[in-house]
Amino acid sequence: MHRVQRIQLCRLRPLMAGSTIVIGTRGSQLALWQANWVKDAIRSCQPDLTVELTVIKTKGDKILDVPLAKVGGKGLFVKEIEEALLEGRIDLAVHSMKDMPADIPDGLCIGAIPQREEPRDVLITRNRLPLEQLKLGARVGTSSLRRSAQLLHARPDISIVPLRGNLDTRLKKLESESLDAIVLAAAGVRRLGLADRITQILDESVMLPAVGQGALCIEIRKNDSRIAPVVALLDDVPTRQVVMGERAFLKRLEGGCQVPIAGHGHIDEKGYTLTGLVCDVDGSHQIKQSRTGPENRSEQIGLELAGTLLAMGAGEILERLNADAQ
């Protein structure tokens, strides 16, 4: 755990000693790693507090032979967990932020966003060649429209092969399905100790990350005076500012998995800079722009950037793609 977060967590008074907190999570190897990270963070200063995990299977875990864009888009990996949270069967949920829809259900809220992992995507290839050196017509595995559209924009000659499943399953399919490469989120690869498999971290000029990629979302019930103070101490303010700006951008565009939308922000000496992208699925038409302003206005910057892209023609792309998805 990061040192600042450890110090903050240790300031928590042991008001909940002897009680139990139940964390809801998906059952994949990566989801369990993330949930256990949160569990350990909570218990690091309250060893007498019992923290348990409850595994909940989501629709996205059950449907593995159909691209996400064709089975409902965002929310596929969180809905059943959110239902358990609303019903009181769990006390908090741990999600990958990039799986979170732009709208949070009534009665729930984002209780904390811990410090972000590497947000970019990575290329893993069988022959260790980077994207620009892959053979003509190379077979690249991904079921993400965002990734495939940007790959085709950079390399129109490649062949996109649908690829679903957990991270370890997708790594195995690199060999079993005779793929030349696959694209994954760097955060998941690194969290599972598989960084040595990475061939290339894809530059944002080639592959802009998904909104929230690399960040965790700790979701709780609104006004939960028992749980909110505990998870709030895991919140990283700069990460929250960055991610909430990205999510405002996504919400303004009403985006989901059915359309190739990307957005990534960062904070530096200039303030908060957010870059957003909307692209045709074949990569032929890409609208990309950035906007900078004070970090405490990140959400407004996200809304303004979305408006800029819509004025540049993103609305027509989104309308066409949403119509095709019906």
Which residues are designated catalytic? 99
By residue count, the chain amounts to 326
Q: Backbone phi, then psi, for 23, in 5-degree steps? A: -100, 130
For residues 21 and 42, the answer to whether their CB atoms sit within 8 Å is yes
Which residue shows structure tokens 């760097």?
A: 186
3-state SS, residue 230: helix
Comparing C-alpha atoms, which of 202, 169, 162, 165 is closest to residue 186?
202
Strand order in the sheet with 20-25: 50-55, 20-25, 92-96, 216-221, 108-112
Nearest CA to 296 out of 271, 265, 260 is that of 271
Enumerate the β-bridge partners of residue 51.
Answer: 21
